[in-house]
Structure 1
Amino acid sequence: MKVDDYKLLVTIKNVGTIRGAAKELLISQPAISQRLKQIEEQWDDTIFIRTHKNVIVTPVGEKIIAFGEQLIKGEEKLLDDISKISTAVTGRLSLGVSSVVGQYLLPKILENYINHFPDVKIELFTSLSQTLRNSMTNFHLLIVRGEKINGMHCIELFSDRLFLIDKKTVNKQTKEKILVEFQSDPSLHSMVDEWFIQHPDMKPSRKLKVDQIETCKQLMSHGIGMAVLPEIAINDLDPEQYSLQPLIVENQPLTRKTWLCYTDAAKELPQVRAFLNMFVEA
C-alpha cells in the first residue's frame, strides 16, 4: 500500500463517512469506494462496516489504521529531517492558527510568505486556541490567543483591547439588550462575564450564540444585538454608526494577547525560521 492509501483510511476514520472523506480529499465518492474495496481485498479483511449514517472501524481496521498513522508521521518526520539539512527553503510548514487571527491577520502574511517561498507546502488548521493547545504536537508553529503555551517558545505578537459594540439607533431606550456572542475560549467569556457583573446597567437580558466572529459582527451591524469584539476585528467600523465602548476593569483595559509559539526542534527547519522572521518583521 502507498502512503496515500493510509491517508485515505485515516481520513475516513476521522471524518466518519465516505461522503465526508470525499469532500475532505476532493475525490469522488465512487473513486473512494472503489479504492477502499481494493484495499480491503488486498488485506483480505473488512476495514470499515458501512451503515446508513456512518462507517464503523473493525478491530482489524483499527490495527491497519494505527499502522498507517505511524507511517504518515514517519514520512512527515523524514520530510522535516531532509529540510533540516537542506539550504533551500522547501518542505512542509504546518500551522495551527487561532480562528480570529486566521481571519483578520494571517491572509496577508501567508500571501507574502508564499510569494517569497513558493516551494513550501503549507498545511493550515484554524480553530479555537484551546483546541490548538490540546493538539500542539501536530504543528510546527501555533498562533494562539489568551495565555501562551507552556513548554514552548512564545513571542507576543500584539495585545488588542476588547470593545462592547452596538449599532446606534433612535429607539435605543426601548430596545431589548441582546448580546451576540461568538464561540471562543472559556477565558474570554469569563473576562466578559466579569465585566458585565461589574456593569449591571449594561447586562444583556439574553444571549445569541454563534460559531464565527464574522457572523457575530454581521448580526450586530444589522442591529440584532450588541457584541464584544477584539480590536483586530473592528478596524472597518465607522464610529458615526456604532458605539464602541472599551471594556475597563480596575482602570485597566481588558485585552487579549496573541502569541506565536514554536519548539527548538521546529526552529531547526529553514521554512519555520523563514516564517518566524517574516511574521515578526510584519
Structure 2
Amino acid sequence: MDQKDWQILNAIAEEKSLTKAAEKLFITQPALSYRLKQLEESFQTKLFFRTKKGIEFTSEGEFLVDYAKDRIKEYLTLKDEIFNIGNEVRGTLRIGVSSNFAQYKLPALLKKFSTSYPNIQFKVQTGWSTEIMNLLNQSQIHLGILRGDYDWEGEKLLLTKEQLYIISKNEISLEELPQLPFIYYKTDNSLKRLISRWWNDHFSQSPLTAMEVDRQETSKEMVKNDLGFSVVPEICLTPSDDLYTEGLTYKNGEPVLRDTWLMYRTDFIQLNIVKAFIDFLIKQQTVKI
C-alpha cells in the first residue's frame, strides 16, 4: 500500500460511492475499481460490497480503512513537523470554514495573509459549521472558522458578532410577517435555532413557508423578485442587493446576534504557520472582519 491507496480507501469510506470517490480524487472509476481489486488480491480477502445505500466495507476492509486514516494523519503530521523546522513560516495551512464566511470574508483574508507569507499554500474545506466541527474533531484541519456556539475541548477565539436581518423587496412591518410568504433555506442547526427562537419570541403561529430552497443566495434572489421575505445574517448583505432590511431584536430589545469563532487544538499552536495565522486574525479584529 502507498499514499494513493490510503486516499482511495479514505475517499470511499467518506463518500460511500465509487463514482463519487473517483470524482473526488480526479481519477476514473475503472482505475479506482482496478486498484481496489489489486488490494483485494494482495490481501487475499474481500474488502467491500455493494448495498442499496452504496459501498460498505467488510470487517477486513474497515480495518484497512482505519489503517489508511492513521497513515494519512501520520503523513500530515510529518509534513507539518518538517516544514516547522526553523523560524520560516512555510508549508500548507489546512482550514475548515463555514460556507458564508468562506464566501464573503475568507478570500480577502487569505490574500492579505499570503502577501505577508508567500511560502505557504492553503487547503480549504468549506461547509456547514457542523461539518467543520467534525473535521476539527478528526484533526483533519489545523483551524476551523465556525458560526454559532459549539462545545469544543480546544482553544476558541471569538472573531465577530453579527446581527440577523429580515430582508424583503419592499418595506414591511413586523406585525405583517405571519401573513407574508416566508422563503426558507437549508442551513445548519445553530442558525435554525436562532431564527426559531426569535420567531417564537414574537409570534404564536408558524411562519407561512412559501418556498424551501438550498442556499441563502437562492433565497436572496427570490426576495429580490418580490416572492416573499427571508431572514439572513448580516454577513451576506451588500448595498448592491437593493433590499429592505431590518435588524432583528427580541421583545426585550436585545439584538439577535450570531457568533463566529476560530477554533483549534492547543498542540497545533506550536506550528509556525498556525501561530502566524492566529496572530494575523487577532490583528484583523481591530478592523471589523
TM range (shorter): 0.7 to 0.9
Query: 1:37 is matched with which residue?
Result: 37
Quote the Cα distance in structure 2 between the aligned partners of 1:197 and 1:115: 46
Note the alpha carbon deviations across 1:103-131, whole angstroms, 9 max, x for none: 11111112333444454342222222233
Quote the Cα distance in structure 2 between the aligned partners of 1:26 and 1:39: 19
Secondary structure in 1 matching 2:112: helix
> Which residue, 197, 204, 208 being the options, matches 1:205?
208
* 2:76 equivalent to 1:73: no
How far 1:228 moved relative to its partner?
Answer: 0.6
Note the alpha carbon deviations across 1:123-159, whole angstroms, 9 max, x for none: 2222222333344232211111122654332222221
Query: 1:261 is matched with which residue?
Result: 263
Query: 2:143 is matched with which residue?
Result: 141
Matches within 5 A, 1:145-164: 145-147=147-149, 149-164=151-166
Note the alpha carbon deviations across 1:1-28, whole angstroms, 9 max, x for none: 1122111111112211211111101112
Quote the Cα distance in structure 2 between the aligned partners of 1:280 and 1:215: 33
Q: CA RMSD in A?
A: 2.7
CA contact (8 A) 2:15 2:21 kept: yes
Secondary structure in 2 matching 1:24: helix
How far 1:221 moved relative to its partner?
Answer: 1.7
* 2:57 equivalent to 1:57: yes
CA contact (8 A) 1:177 1:203 kept: no
> Which residue, 173, 179, 184 being the options, matches 1:181?
184
Secondary structure in 1 matching 2:153: coil
* 2:100 equivalent to 1:100: yes
Change (3 A) 1:198 1:207: farther
Task: Give the stretch that moved more between structures: 179-188 or 10-19.
Answer: 179-188
Secondary structure in 1 matching 2:239: coil
Q: What letter corresponds to residue 215 of structure 1 in structure 2?
A: T
Change (3 A) 1:130 1:14: closer
Query: 2:245 is matched with which residue?
Result: 244
CA contact (8 A) 1:148 1:154 kept: no
Query: 1:128 is matched with which residue?
Result: 128
Query: 1:24 is matched with which residue?
Result: 24
> Which residue, 202, 206, 230 being the options, matches 1:227?
230
Q: Which runs of 4+ in 1 moved over 6 A?
A: none
Structure 2 residue runs of 5 or longer lacking an equivalent are 285-289
Change (3 A) 1:111 1:58: same
CA contact (8 A) 2:249 2:256 kept: yes
Quote the Cα distance in structure 2 between the aligned partners of 1:228 and 1:58: 46
How far 1:65 moved relative to its partner?
Answer: 1.5
Quote the Cα distance in structure 2 between the aligned partners of 1:221 and 1:279: 34
TM-score by length of 1: 0.86
TM-score by length of 2: 0.84
Quote the Cα distance in structure 2 between the aligned partners of 1:53 and 1:144: 30
* 2:194 equivalent to 1:195: no
Secondary structure in 2 matching 1:248: coil
Quote the Cα distance in structure 1 between the aligned partners of 2:147 and 2:23: 30
Percent sequence identity is 30
CA contact (8 A) 1:133 1:149 kept: no
Tell me the number of residue pairs that the alignment of Structure 1 and Structure 2 aligns: 277
CA contact (8 A) 2:92 2:121 kept: yes
How far 1:269 moved relative to its partner?
Answer: 0.7
Q: What letter corresponds to residue 256 of structure 1 in structure 2?
A: R
Q: What letter corresponds to residue 210 of structure 1 in structure 2?
A: V
Quote the Cα distance in structure 1 between the aligned partners of 2:47 and 2:219: 42
Quote the Cα distance in structure 1 between the aligned partners of 2:53 and 2:204: 48
Structure 1 residue runs of 5 or longer lacking an equivalent are none
